[in-house]
Structure 1
């Protein structure tokens, strides 16, 4: 990747970051995630992040946990706020660009309503590097995607899809496809782009097969 003056070496990533728990929402390294922020505690979170290193960790609650303090999956992904707009009604529209995955080893108390995780970045050093070549069968993915998108009611610019680099396409599809939370987590925890691509293809093919058998509605 081209050098960004805000990029940090992996060994200089912070020991704690604010975390934003959202079920079914996935951020991956190099992915871009738009968010509409309106809860007071998360407005505080964005303000505090903008005043420091602009990093926010996206993490899923376990088992659809509810309430203000649900248990969290151990692994999340940190993103940098790379776009920010404030609306007239006081919401923040931001974009997070995925930087690196992290492991939650604990939490620290906060006074601003949001949660803050103690982070272990070890084992994810490759997230800051360019992805290697993706060896997935592109024609097989393209063919099943058209059926999957039709079944899910997702519109797509197929010319753009066909021209997208395969590694970036795998990242985008992993983030936007309406998989279940455990499936999203499995995609996040895949060790590299090739294992993620194979899992993505398997999930899409399974969904198409289930829908074709009349079982697709059970996924919603």
Structure 2
């Protein structure tokens, strides 16, 4: 889902964001993330965001036992998304979609009076995220496709290869990273890769490690 008026620089984004901690969930620039929201505090968060900038920060709780706490520590890097789809279900849930804008670094968590968490953030390390298609020419597309074929075969996955062939490198790499069935630490490594080329290389490396273990993944591409 595209944004009507794309953001051009960090100056166009707020330096305080409501954050939605989700383990194993990845959001990347210019890719859509569908969510079902049902907890009261996050319903409040989306209500408030819709009244203002329509922006939500997606971030993972740090992996391990910590992620099961009611107020887990957070990784230092997340990605802000704009609400580009919204619907009420009639039973107290929201069906929403966020479109990724840019990654951010958490500078500090605020002592907020809201029911949800808020952080002071900086986008300065991720200015490349504001440039569509940046680094596409540096991606080894053949490596990506070869690894995807091997992973799909090992896990008995059906792939729409015609769509894959038409997809440019940036959405191909970012969508595969978001859909990948890897754990939170691996997802965080994909998020924090400094550019598209390194994200593609990291994606290939993680997939090859999984394949080398010789066990089909218990999860599938979502």
Partner in structure 2 of residue 194 of structure 1: 197
Q: Does residue 1:203 correspond to 2:206, yes or no?
A: yes
Q: TM-score, normalised by structure 2?
A: 0.89
Counterpart among 181, 185, 202 of residue 184 in structure 2: 181
Q: Does residue 1:117 correspond to 2:115, yes or no?
A: no
Contact 1:134 1:167 in 2 (8 A): no
SS at match of 1:124: helix
* Shift in alpha-carbon separation, 1:122–1:209, aligned structure 2, 3 A: same
Q: Over aligned residues, Cα RMSD in angstroms?
A: 2.0
**Which runs of no fewer than 5 residues in structure 2 stay unpaired?**
none
User: Displacement, 1:111?
Assistant: 3.2
User: Displacement, 1:52?
Assistant: 0.6
**Which runs of no fewer than 5 residues in structure 1 stay unpaired?**
none
Partner in structure 2 of residue 160 of structure 1: 163
* Shift in alpha-carbon separation, 1:167–1:7, aligned structure 2, 3 A: closer
* Shift in alpha-carbon separation, 1:46–1:208, aligned structure 2, 3 A: same
- Number of aligned residues: 214
Q: Distance in 2 between matches of 1:45 and 1:152?
A: 37
SS at match of 1:18: strand
Partner in structure 1 of residue 34 of structure 2: 34
Per-residue CA distance 1:97-118 (angstroms, 9 max, x = gap): 1111111111123333210011
Q: Distance in 2 between matches of 1:113 and 1:145?
A: 41
Contact 1:77 1:100 in 2 (8 A): yes
Per-residue CA distance 1:57-116 (angstroms, 9 max, x = gap): 000001242222100000100000011111021211111111111111111233332100
SS at match of 1:103: strand
* Shift in alpha-carbon separation, 1:106–1:137, aligned structure 2, 3 A: closer
* Shift in alpha-carbon separation, 1:216–1:51, aligned structure 2, 3 A: closer
Partner in structure 2 of residue 72 of structure 1: 74
User: Displacement, 1:32?
Assistant: 1.0
